[in-house]
Structures are given as structure tokens and as C-alpha cells.
Amino acid sequence: MKLKIHERYTLWVILASATLTVMAGSIIAPVLPWMGEGLGVSPASAGLIITTHGLFIAIFSPLFGNVIDRMGPRRPYIFGLILFALAGGAGLFITSFWVLIISRAILGIGVAAFFTSITVIILNLYEGTKRDKAMGWRASANSLGFIWPLIGGFLGSFSWHYPFGVYLLGIPLGVLGLFTIPETHRKSIQATGEEASLLAVFRKNPLLFAIYALIFLTNILLYVVVIYLPTLLRNDGVSDSASVGLFLMVMMICAGLTSLNYGKIRAGLSYKKIVLTAALLWTAGFAGLSYGYLLPVIAVSVAFFGIGQGMVMPAVMVWAGETVSPVFRGRVVSYLGTFGFIGQFLSPIIFGAVFLTSGLLGVFLAAGGATVLLFLLFLVGLRK
């Protein structure tokens, strides 16, 4: 597909907006305690400010997937960015906890719109190795979103309201999208007889269920590291938040650099071999975390997890999009967001129970057991 001159910056606008998915929660995380005090709520209630938008992303992603298949991804993309900016920026002025929760729910709806649209735009604009490279860059942009907590922490030192102003970046990105994002909706493509409905698509392509399960598990495991790594480090004498942040930054940088080179990785490995490699890296990583006595071992372990994350995230997006006709691409891709964010939401619930019964060691061993099972399941599938 040839792009016009004004579309030469399309990918850069897409990548910039992709970082906003991570920013949605991370920009205000550093000021959460002060936000709770300012709103007069408990820390547990304040935590809902971080998680509410994720639940609404999961709920509304399929709706926008259907809209994208009907009218194309360009308009939902721009709509989502503007809604994201208005709902997020409203936190500059909101002083009521429940009004803020409502604004976070609306924020999640906006993210659902542009999150799915970004994936479909890349799938429709590019093909082959260019598609793999672009999707890798998109995943890399997500992983390198660690800058947002740093910015949020700085702005929060003046007022807990100020980090909400960063959400207004969605407005200039939405305006840029008007001029740089081409319409990629392919109205001339018709569904085949075997793919006359979405249900028929899933019947014909049962592999999609494995892809959804993979992104579900990937997000569960990601939050196991995010939630329980600080506790592990505190047990090893690392008590300041800045040092804990450095370990998490190692994971995100490794994920980002790996995704940046995803095009080269995909050129040498099939999708299933990518999953097998990531599962081995994750198993080694969780084994190292379960040992958990030496800081260098912990650093290498989170690096292994980041590398696996950087391989899998772009792979599942392209894999799902290439499995079906463009007629159903929006709806099929939208479920990646649904299962991914549900995985994030359920991770502390699932492994919280493990922690209560088996402690920190049990958490990392259980997570490692899940990656071993993932490896075995895909190994059997590869042989078939």
C-alpha cells in the first residue's frame, strides 16, 4: 500500500499513541497515596483509581472491534484519543472520589477504542517483514513507557492533580491522526462462505483460542513480577522505591529492545518457536526469582522475563491478525485487549491466594509451573 507524502509520519504518530496505553495507569501510580489522602479514601479504595480503566478496556474492546470492522480503524482511533484526553485530563479539577472513578471508566473506553485501532491500522497498512517490524516497534513503545512514572512522580511533587494533565497529550495526537492516519478500511473484501460470521471464524480457526490464552497468561505473569518483585527485594534488603524501580526498568528495557528487533526474530523463528523460546526464558526467570537470595540473579531473572515478553507481545498481535480475513480483523484483534486486561485484573486475585497459602516462594514456583505447562502444550502443538 503506497502512502501519500503527508502520511510519511504515520508510524511515528501510531507509536507515540501506543505509549499512552501504558501511561493510562502508570502516570498517576507514584502519587496514589497522596491522592487517597486528598480524596479522603483508604489505600484500598484509592487502588481502584488504577484498576478501573483496565476493566472497562476489557469490556469495551469487542464493541470497538465491531465498529472497526464496519467503518475502519481511523475514526475510532481519533475518537479514542480525544476521549482519553478529556476523561484523563478531567482529573486536574476533580475533587470527588466517585466522580474520578467515573472519569477513569470513561478513560478506559477511550483506550479500548485506540488500543484496538492501532493494531488493526498496522495490520492493514503493512505486510510481511514490514508488518513484523512495525508491530515490534509498537510493542517496544509500550515497554519503554517506563518514563511515565518518572514524569508523574515529578509532577506529583507539586500536586497530585498535576500528573492528570499529561493525559491531554491525546488531543494533539488525535489532531495529528487526522492528517497522518490513512483510511485502511477495505470495503471490497467480502467474507468467504466458511467465514460468514464471527462464530464461523472461530470454528474455522481454533488456534485463536490458544492465542487468546497466551496473551491472558502473559499478562497474568507480568503482574506477578510487578506485584511481588518489590516484596522479594525488600526481603533482600532493598527498601527504597528508587532501587525497586531500577529492577522493573531492567525488565521493561529488555522487553522494549527485544520488541524493537522483533522483525529479525520473526524472520528466523515461527510463531510457535517464539512461544517455546519465551516459555523457556520465563521458566528460567521464575526459577531465579524463587531462589531469590542474590540481587544479580534477580536482575538476570527479570531480564529473562522481559526478553520473553518482548518476543510474545508483538507475535500474538500479528499472529491473530494474520489468521483471519480483514473483514473480521477488528473483532478478532479486539479480544486480545479483552483477555489481556482481564489477565491483569485477575493476576493479584489468583496469585494472592497462592501467596496466602504458600508464601512468596510458592508464588514464583506456581508461575514457573505455568510456564513449563505452556512450553509442553506448544511443544505438542509444534510436533503436530
Highest mean pLDDT among 15-19, 172-176, 250-254: 172-176
Q: Is residue 54 exposed (0-12), middle (13-18) or buried (19+ Cβ within 10 Å)?
A: buried
Predicted local distance difference test score (pLDDT) of residue 241: 61
State mean pLDDT over 128-156: 81
In this predicted structure, the answer to whether residue 191 has a pLDDT above a threshold of 60 is no
Q: Which residue has the higher pLDDT, 279 or 136?
A: 279
State percent of the chain over pLDDT 90.
35
In this predicted structure, the answer to whether residue 1 has a pLDDT above a threshold of 50 is no
Highest mean pLDDT among 171-175, 180-184, 359-363: 171-175
In this predicted structure, the answer to whether residue 383 has a pLDDT above a threshold of 70 is no
Q: Which residue has the higher pLDDT, 195 or 334?
A: 334
Q: Which residue has the higher pLDDT, 39 or 48?
A: 39
State mean pLDDT over 196-218: 87
**CA 90, CA 88: separation in Å to the nearest integer?**
5
Best CA proximity match to 314, nearest among 218, 205, 238:
218
Confidence of residue 160 (pLDDT cuts 50, 70, 90): confident
- Structural element, H or E, at residue 152: helix 147-156
State mean pLDDT over 241-265: 83
**CA 109, CA 115: separation in Å to the nearest integer?**
10
- The answer regarding whether domain 5-183 maps to CATH 3.30.465.10 reads no
Residues of the chain with CATH 1.20.1250.20: 5-183, 201-383
Distance of CA 184 to the CA centre of its chain: 23
The answer to whether 371 and 286 have CB atoms below 8 angstroms apart is yes
Confidence of residue 381 (pLDDT cuts 50, 70, 90): confident
Cell numbers at 339, concatenated: 483477555
Predicted local distance difference test score (pLDDT) of residue 326: 82
Task: Write 262-266 long-range contacts (CB < 8 A, 24+).
Answer: 262/132, 262/133, 262/135, 262/136, 262/139, 262/140, 262/310, 262/311, 262/314, 262/315, 263/129, 263/132, 263/133, 263/136, 265/136, 265/311, 266/129, 266/132, 266/136, 266/315, 266/318
Q: Is residue 1 exposed (0-12), middle (13-18) or buried (19+ Cβ within 10 Å)?
A: exposed
Handedness of CA 363, 369, 373, 374 (dihedral sign): positive
Tens digit of pLDDT for each residue in 161-173?
998 999 999 999 9
Q: How far apart are the first and last CA of the chain?
A: 35
Residue 162: CA count within 13 A, CB half-sphere: 13
Best CATH choice for the domain 201-383 from the list 3.40.50.150, 1.20.1250.20, 1.10.3210.10, 1.10.510.10:
1.20.1250.20
CB count within 10 Å of CB 239 equals: 10
Q: Which residue has the cell 472497526?
A: 68
Best CA proximity match to 310, nearest among 134, 137, 145:
137
In this predicted structure, the answer to whether residue 227 has a pLDDT above a threshold of 80 is no
* Radius of gyration from C-alpha coordinates of the chain: 20
Supply the mean pLDDT for the chain.
85
